[in-house]
Amino acid sequence: MIKRIRRDYPVLLLAIPGMLIICAFQYYPLWGNVIAFQDYQPYLGVQQSLWSGFENFKTIVAGDPEFVNAVKNTLILTAIQTVIVFPAPIIVALVLHSLLSNRLRQIVQTIIYVPHFMSWVIVVAVFQQVLGGTGMINNWLRGHGYDPIHVIGNVEAFRALLTSQVMWKDTGWATILFLAVLSQIDRSLYEASAVDGATRWRQTWHITLPGLKPIIILLLILKLGDSLTVGFEQIILQQPAVGVEASEVLDTYVYNNGIIGGDWGVSAAVGLVKSVVALALVLGANKLAHRLGEEGVYRG
Amino acid sequence: MKRNQVLVGGMPMPGRAERVVKALFLTLICAVVVFPFIGVISTSLASPEEVIRAGGFVMFPTDGIDLSAYRSILSGGTVTQALIISGFITAVGTTIALFLTCTLGWALSRRGTFGNKPLLLLVLISLLFNPGLIPTYLVVQQFGLLDSLWAVILPVSVSAFNVIVVRAYFVGLPAAVIDSARIDGASEWKLFWHIGLPLSKAVVAVVGLFYGVGYWNSFFGALLYLNDSSKWPLQLVLRTYVVNGVEIGAQELGTAGEALPPQTSIQMAILMISVVPILCVYPFIQRHFAKGVLTGAVKG
């Protein structure tokens, strides 16, 4: 072994700086979860804060209304994003894939990928400028004698607003994977089916969609693991306009209660439960995918 | 199959109705992406009189171009300073991130060396979980990085996903080239720096540009760790003056004594200077990213 280390130490030296960062900011923080079991006080630090056992978890078990509200909002938003946001890029990818002109397809792709590279601050700012009370659309409506629409800052429209922002930002980008998979479907399948008299619709239904099935399942598994994480930056930015009740999700609850509100222990407990549930969801979904005879995310 | 039916890529030619619907659909999607940006650019460039006349927004300026909004935000005040800070974070961050990611990716690509498998496993497992907001905050605090720009740079400087992408590319390099260089007595560092990197320019460029865009857009790290508003990057300034609509005066802009352009023009100019750098690098990323995303998706 010493011989191997002596032989390979130059390789190990190259690995060290990167591994240090991963350990420092990915693995090392895990100890910080101990404050979930403490009555943590920042001026005392982790070493001197008093242990409180499962006290902090009582908030979760007892169903603190703010916490329950955050869970409810998170799950509703996740449901919307799975049902409405997730299929959108599949539809766009199918349309793009069916175009005859490669040039046209590239032009459209170039345009619709752009918003993905904009920060949430920019996206939210752009939406405000378009839909806000004095924004572009209301400006036009007023100029032409119509009533303005009330979207920004409207509690009832908030979920629709979040959803349309997510779609505006990432629908284009999400097509990239589907298009790559579509381009790998065997052309001879289409030819054979056309000879047998299949229409374009039947080809889409019987060849294209089954071809997309593995990638759809893979993405749904990943999404399930993320189902307790919804639009943190997006919501933090817009929370002041609509208030906590309509907008609080688990991540913003942890931030607002812990780092802003100083209730560190309870927030860490919520964060810890969230991480554990998320990990269990990924592992569980992956297992389920194997049962169903799909590849899943990893083997094992 | 009907007689004389034309097949394209194995599919029957689309009918007229289908083509019209698709054309409308794609035009609509592109318009939704492009129009807000046109409004933002136009308003930032329109003359103050025209902006006031239009009541806030100008879609198609007729008075010619007026750069006073840009002149006032670039005259040395808060926005200029934020621009410099964002530039610093992006330049330094991207350099460090690329160095750490490529060295680690290279080391992990040398299969059969001491510790290769455990290290790779450590990187892969870190993809499965997120250490959580509060634990990460505690670690950054413990390292004494609060209120330092390093808190924005270091925690995100090694993305395990990018490491895997780079590693996959290095693994795919022809072994003969590397082996013959080693027989000629090249050290591990020389192999990496003079052979591995130059052969992998494409993937290094994509990963670098992704890091660059990430750092330029970094918002939440800065919000979380930088309390001192004189250290704020552009995204936080954008949030304050555009999303939250705080009035920006001559004092913040550093233009005391001059007539200010309308608030809307200034806001749109701030928005533009945060968007333009991304639009400038976008064409370079766009050529490569399908490849980059795919390697990651397939091997991850």
pLDDT digits (tens, 9 = 90+) for B67-93: 888 988 888 888 999 999 999 999 999
pLDDT digits (tens, 9 = 90+) for B130-163: 888 999 999 999 999 999 999 999 999 999 999 9
Contact state of B107 with A15 under an 8 Å Cβ cutoff = yes
Instruction: Provide the CATH topology of domain B75-299.
Output: MetI-like fold (1.10.3720)
Concatenating the DSSP letter of every residue in chain B gives --TT--EETTEEPPPHHHHHHHHHHHHHHHHHHHHHHHHHHHHHHS-HHHHHHHTT--SS--S----HHHHHHTSSSHHHHHHHHHHHHHHHHHHHHHHHHHHHHHHHHSTTSTTHHHHHHHHHHHTT----HHHHHHHHHHTT-TTSTHHHHGGGS--HHHHHHHHHHHHTS-HHHHHHHHHTT--HHHIIIIIIHHHTHHHHHHHHHHHHHHHHT--HHHHHH---GGG--HHHHHIIIIIS-----HHHHT-TTSPPPPHHHHHHHHHHHHHHHHHHHHHHHHHHHHHHHHHHHHH-
Q: Using CA atoms, how far apart are residues A112 and A114, in angstroms rounded to an integer?
A: 6
Looking at every residue in chain A, the average pLDDT score rounds to 88
pLDDT digits (tens, 9 = 90+) for B233-290: 999 999 999 888 888 887 778 776 677 888 888 899 999 999 999 998 888 777 766 5
pTM of the model: 0.90
pLDDT digits (tens, 9 = 90+) for A5-64: 888 888 999 999 999 999 999 999 999 888 889 888 888 888 888 888 888 888 778 878
Contact state of B278 with A117 under an 8 Å Cβ cutoff = yes
**pLDDT at B298 exceeding the cut of 50:** no
The single residue listed with the structure tokens 């961050």 is B93
- Site from A5, A22, A164 to mutate, B interface, most B CB atoms within 10 angstroms: A22
A residues 240-299 lying closer than 8 A (beta carbon) to B: 240, 251, 254-255, 258-259, 264, 267-268, 271-272, 274-275, 278-279, 282
pLDDT digits (tens, 9 = 90+) for B198-231: 998 888 988 998 899 999 999 999 999 999 989 9
Domains belonging to chain A, first-starting first, are 2-28+35-291 (1.10.3720.10)
- Look up the ipTM and state it: 0.89
Q: What's the confidence (pLDDT) of residue B92?
A: 98
Question: Which of chain A's residues have a Cβ under 8 Å away from the Cβ of B101?
Answer: 18
Q: What's the confidence (pLDDT) of residue A298?
A: 62
B residues 32-61 lying closer than 8 A (beta carbon) to A: 32-37, 39-40, 54-57, 59
* Residue range A196-212: mean pLDDT, rounded: 88
**pLDDT at A70 exceeding the cut of 70:** yes
Q: Using CA atoms, how far apart are residues B190 and B198, in angstroms rounded to an integer?
A: 11
pLDDT above 70 covers a percentage of chain A that reads 98
For chain B, domain boundaries? 7-66, 75-299
